[in-house]
């Protein structure tokens, strides 16, 4: 390492805590990093990649399942390059577009590999790749981000990607928060005799490394004494509010085994049921519903005879998508997804107006269920008061709320009770959203874990949850004169 590099490393190391510094200095062939959430896994891995590429002229590949995740790590590399600009005469960015085929979803994905070029020929390249075979043939160092979330436990990716570092001097960094034990990440982590394993839970972070926690108002907890640190962790745990996931996300415990909630074969069967059936969908950004031609009459179609609409509304305002899923249900027949309204950064008032329009459609009284957790509570109380408890059902996602919805979805898709638009059509993102939900069935309780939709990155299973809510709404028995609901 030249003197400029040594000087810069010393300067930047002040930004690394003990665990980060140990990981940063590690030169082992395979490094396994299991840290709690927001500990700085990608931040430190980005520093390692940039420094190593500058020192050796080698290439580093960032491999992730989604463009978003790969870009986040890549952007941290750019920041580190700027920190080190004193010894960088020039650096440049490029991007290349690729297409890959995802076998599990039977879809083609287009993605962009971003490339950071350093003066000595070293490179850092982002390679979001759901299909490991797309990445075969490269040579260099690898960063596997959130490796525990890779499909099929990450075994197929490992089999293809490890040979990339066959030649001497290359490293592979497998970094993730823990998931189940049926993953390659757990296998690596559980073998410290062979691999270099780095583990850091929230206790070690707070007590030994000065990790600062913040309260509900964004103010730092008092962590000046041992007792204060214990209290800060306890209060932060309460603020997190999910006891089922706390051990995994913050204590680095491998709890449960995750697998797809709805299997691919079940999704395919649902899409076969929906092939050729009427289906309409629309996306609204902001409050531009009228500007793109939407009106309450959008829901009124001639084919809605002899059945009713069953609605599910997953509420969101700024970050995720709000989704209104409308099933058309007839007695003794599978439910069919008839309408889907996606709303991004749309006001609650506009969302409620759209829900009301759907509730007033059809020759039988429509029913609905909505996400009444947090920001959705007020809107759901308003709709319940307006339509009555036999037509609108608020659902709190806390406690057993999500697991109950998951059980309803399992029953519907296992029994061919739900039809979807075809996977190979323009609405294939709907099946992809359902495929992104993972289930943990250990301990006799069903727990759900959300992933990112590879076809619609703004959705983290928001569409899937609106579908589950619609299935739940199907249990409501609003009175309809002269017609018996089954």
pLDDT at 128: 67
Least confident span in 45-54, 113-122, 223-232, 361-370: 113-122
Tell me the pLDDT tens digit for each residue of 373-390. 888 899 999 999 999 999
pLDDT at 82: 67
| Bridge partner list, 200 | 35
As a whole number, mean pLDDT of residues 199-212 equals 93
Higher pLDDT, 479 or 374: 374
Topology of domain 258-473, per CATH?
Nucleotidyltransferase; domain 5 (3.30.420)
Domains of the chain by residue range: 3-200, 203-249, 258-473
- Per the prediction, the chain carries an average pLDDT of 82
Using the predicted structure, report yes or no on whether residue 349 has a pLDDT greater than 60: yes
Using the predicted structure, report yes or no on whether residue 447 has a pLDDT greater than 50: yes
Using the predicted structure, report yes or no on whether residue 154 has a pLDDT greater than 80: yes
Asked whether the beta carbons of 73 and 145 are under 8 A apart, the reply is yes
Sign of the C-alpha dihedral computed for residues 212, 213, 217 and 218 taken in this order: positive
220 Cα distance to chain centroid? 28
Distance CA 204, CA 199 (A): 9
pLDDT at 270: 94
Asked whether the beta carbons of 476 and 314 are under 8 A apart, the reply is no
As a whole number, mean pLDDT of residues 449-458 equals 78
Distance CA 282, CA 426 (A): 12
Using the predicted structure, report yes or no on whether residue 11 has a pLDDT greater than 60: no
As a whole number, mean pLDDT of residues 433-455 equals 79
Least confident span in 130-144, 168-182, 314-328, 456-470: 130-144
Tell me the pLDDT tens digit for each residue of 156-167. 888 888 888 877
Distance CA 147, CA 154 (A): 7
At 418, is the secondary structure helix, strand, or coil?
strand
Distance CA 331, CA 248 (A): 43
As a whole number, mean pLDDT of residues 166-182 equals 84
Tell me the pLDDT tens digit for each residue of 80-128. 666 655 444 444 444 444 444 445 444 444 445 677 787 778 888 877 6
Distance CA 183, CA 308 (A): 43
Using the predicted structure, report yes or no on whether residue 460 has a pLDDT greater than 80: yes
pLDDT at 384: 94
Using the predicted structure, report yes or no on whether residue 401 has a pLDDT greater than 50: yes
pLDDT at 271: 93
Tell me the pLDDT tens digit for each residue of 256-298. 666 778 888 899 899 999 999 999 999 999 888 888 888 888 9
Closest CA to 326 of 369, 274, 276, 272: 369
As a whole number, mean pLDDT of residues 332-355 equals 94
Angle at 111 between CA 35 and CA 132, to 5 degrees: 60
| Bridge partner list, 253 | none
Helix (H) or strand (E) holding 263: none
As a whole number, mean pLDDT of residues 330-334 equals 90
Distance CA 29, CA 61 (A): 15
Higher pLDDT, 39 or 441: 39
Using the predicted structure, report yes or no on whether residue 457 has a pLDDT greater than 80: no
What lies within 8 Å, CB to CB, of 414 at 6+ separation is: 266
pLDDT at 87: 45
162 Cα distance to chain centroid? 25
As a whole number, mean pLDDT of residues 331-352 equals 93
Using the predicted structure, report yes or no on whether residue 14 has a pLDDT greater than 60: no
If DSSP states are collapsed to H, E and C, what string results for 32-44?
EEEECCCCCHHHH
Distance CA 275, CA 326 (A): 17
Query: What is each CA distance from 4 to 1, 111, 117, 215, 281, in whole angstroms?
Result: 8, 36, 19, 41, 57
DSSP letter (8 states) at residue 404? H
Check if CATH label 1.20.120.1200 holds for domain 3-200. no
Tell me the pLDDT tens digit for each residue of 212-268. 999 998 999 999 999 999 999 999 999 988 777 788 899 998 876 667 788 888 998
pLDDT at 131: 67
Closest CA to 53 of 145, 136, 144, 118: 118
As a whole number, mean pLDDT of residues 407-425 equals 91
pLDDT at 351: 94
pLDDT at 257: 67
């Amino acid at each position: 390492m030249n003197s400029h590099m040594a000087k810069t490393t010393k300067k930047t190391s002040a930004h690394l805590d003990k665990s980060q510094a140990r990981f940063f200095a590690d030169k082992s062939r395979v490094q396994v990093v299991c840290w709690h959430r927001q500990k700085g896994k990608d931040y430190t891995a980005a520093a390692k990649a940039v420094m190593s590429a500058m020192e050796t002229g080698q290439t580093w590949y960032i491999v992730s399942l989604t463009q978003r995740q790969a870009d986040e790590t890549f952007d941290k590399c750019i920041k580190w390059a700027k920190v080190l600009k004193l010894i960088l005469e020039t650096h440049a960015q490029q991007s290349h577009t690729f297409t890959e085929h995802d076998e599990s979803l039977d879809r083609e994905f287009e993605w962009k590999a971003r490339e950071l070029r350093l003066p000595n020929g070293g490179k850092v390249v982002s390679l979001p790749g759901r299909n490991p075979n797309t990445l075969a043939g490269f040579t260099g160092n690898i960063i596997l981000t959130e490796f525990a979330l890779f499909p099929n436990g990450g075994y197929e990716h490992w089999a293809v990607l490890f040979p990339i570092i066959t030649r001497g001097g290359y490293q592979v960094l497998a970094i993730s928060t823990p998931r189940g034990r049926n993953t390659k990440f757990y296998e690596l982590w559980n073998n410290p005799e062979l691999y270099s394993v780095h583990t850091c839970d929230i206790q070690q972070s707070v007590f030994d490394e000065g990790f600062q926690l913040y309260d509900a108002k964004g103010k730092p907890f008092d962590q000046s004494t041992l007792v204060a640190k214990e209290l800060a962790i306890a209060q932060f745990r309460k603020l997190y509010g999910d006891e089922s996931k706390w051990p995994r996300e913050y204590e680095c415990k491998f709890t449960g085994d995750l697998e797809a909630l709805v299997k691919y074969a079940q999704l395919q069967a649902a899409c076969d049921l929906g092939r050729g059936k009427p289906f309409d969908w629309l996306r609204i950004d902001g409050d531009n519903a009228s500007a793109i031609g939407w009106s309450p009459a959008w829901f009124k179609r001639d084919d809605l005879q002899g059945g009713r609409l069953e609605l599910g509304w997953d509420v969101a305002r700024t970050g995720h998508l709000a989704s209104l899923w409308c099933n058309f249900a007839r007695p003794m027949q599978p439910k069919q997804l008839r309408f889907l309204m996606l709303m991004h950064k749309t006001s609650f008032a506009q969302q409620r107006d759209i829900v009301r329009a759907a509730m007033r459609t059809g020759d039988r009284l429509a029913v609905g269920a909505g996400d009444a957790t947090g920001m959705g509570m007020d809107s759901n109380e308003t709709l319940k008061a307006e339509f009555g408890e036999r037509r609108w059902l608020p659902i709190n996602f806390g406690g057993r709320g999500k697991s109950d919805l998951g059980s309803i979805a399992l029953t519907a898709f296992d029994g061919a009770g739900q039809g979807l638009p075809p996977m190979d059509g323009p609405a294939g993102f709907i099946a992809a959203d359902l495929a992104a939900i993972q289930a943990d069935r250990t301990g006799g309780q069903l727990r759900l874990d959300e992933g990112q939709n590879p076809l619609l990155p703004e959705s983290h299973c928001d569409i899937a949850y609106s579908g589950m809510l619609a299935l739940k709404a199907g249990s409501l028995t609003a009175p309809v004169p002269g017609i018996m609901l089954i």
